[in-house]
A and B are shown apart, each in its own frame.
Chain A
Amino acid sequence: DVKVTQSSRYLVKRTGEKVFLECVQDMDHENMFWYRQDPGLGLRLIYFSYDVKMKEKGDIPEGYSVSREKKERFSLILESASTNQTSMYLCASSSSDHAVTDTQYFGPGTRLTVL
């Protein structure tokens, strides 16, 4: 079974702090994704990576950066947290072999509150 884990389920930070969210997958997937989920807005892609050290901006990258130094690990960084970044953050991974499906496997999420 694919397992995607995230470093924290709940996190409380103060405005201006630098925040690191970590994600690890154990299925040797090439692709990894960071989403944020807010009520009524669905899943919005922040950044994704299709290989080590490779990254691409998603729909809402402003205020975020990412790091992928190893294939299994994808980190989301909030350089200076703001209250409007209070949200649920979901990490996902998928294989680049989408001959059959594009299935993404999600971690349990990190609920971040910025005070």
Chain B
Amino acid sequence: GQSLEQPSEVTAVEGAIVQINCTYQTSGFYGLSWYQQHDGGAPTFLSYNALDGLEETGRFSSFLSRSDSYGYLLLQELQMKDSASYFCAVRDGYNTDKLIFGTGTRLQVFP
């Protein structure tokens, strides 16, 4: 079956850089997504990697290495508002639109 692993919690200070890792085990691979969820809020899409390498969107970047079944989300110039949970997700197969989500990493940013 499909499974994803990510750390349960990460802490950092404002202005710092933090990396949230995600390793996955899948029978096929169709891209790695990242979602952000603030306390009490809905998950929102952040980024998607289908191919190896780094995708940059402002202060956030996402990296993928398909040979290592590994990806990470990089958050730069951390702000207090970045305190949230971050989930990685993969598609459950070729002929499905189901996503399998990791259990989430809670990021706490301190002043």
Q: Which A residues fall within an 8 A CB radius of B?
A: 4, 30-31, 33, 40-43, 45, 48, 50, 58, 90, 92, 94, 96, 98, 100-109
- Pick the contact of B97: A42, A98, A108 (CB < 8 A): A98
Closest to B101 in A: A43
Instruction: Assess the A106–B42 pair: CB atoms within 8 A.
Output: yes
Q: Name 14 interchain pairs, CB-CB below 8 A, sorted by A.
A: A40-B103, A41-B103, A42-B87, A43-B43, A92-B43, A94-B97, A98-B97, A101-B33, A101-B48, A102-B89, A102-B99, A103-B45, A106-B43, A107-B42
Instruction: Assess the B98–A90 pair: CB atoms within 8 A.
Output: no
Main secondary structure of the interface of B (DSSP, over half): loop
Instruction: Assess the A109–B42 pair: CB atoms within 8 A.
Output: yes
Residues of A within 8 A of B89 (CB): 102
A48 and B99 CA atoms in complex are apart in Å by 11
Q: Which B residues fall within an 8 A CB radius of A?
A: 8, 30-31, 33, 41-45, 48, 87, 89, 91, 97-99, 101-104
- Minimum distance in angstroms from A39 CB to a CB of chain B: 10
Question: How many pairs of A and B residues are in contact by the CB < 8 Å rule?
Answer: 56
- Minimum distance in angstroms from A96 CB to a CB of chain B: 6
Given A48-B98, A90-B42, A106-B43, A42 and B31 contact (CB-CB distance below 8 Å): no
A96 and B41 CA atoms in complex are apart in Å by 25
* Extra 12 A-B pairs, beta carbons < 8 Å, given A40-B8, A103-B48, A104-B43: A31-B97, A42-B87, A43-B101, A98-B97, A101-B45, A101-B48, A102-B48, A102-B89, A102-B97, A104-B45, A105-B45, A109-B42
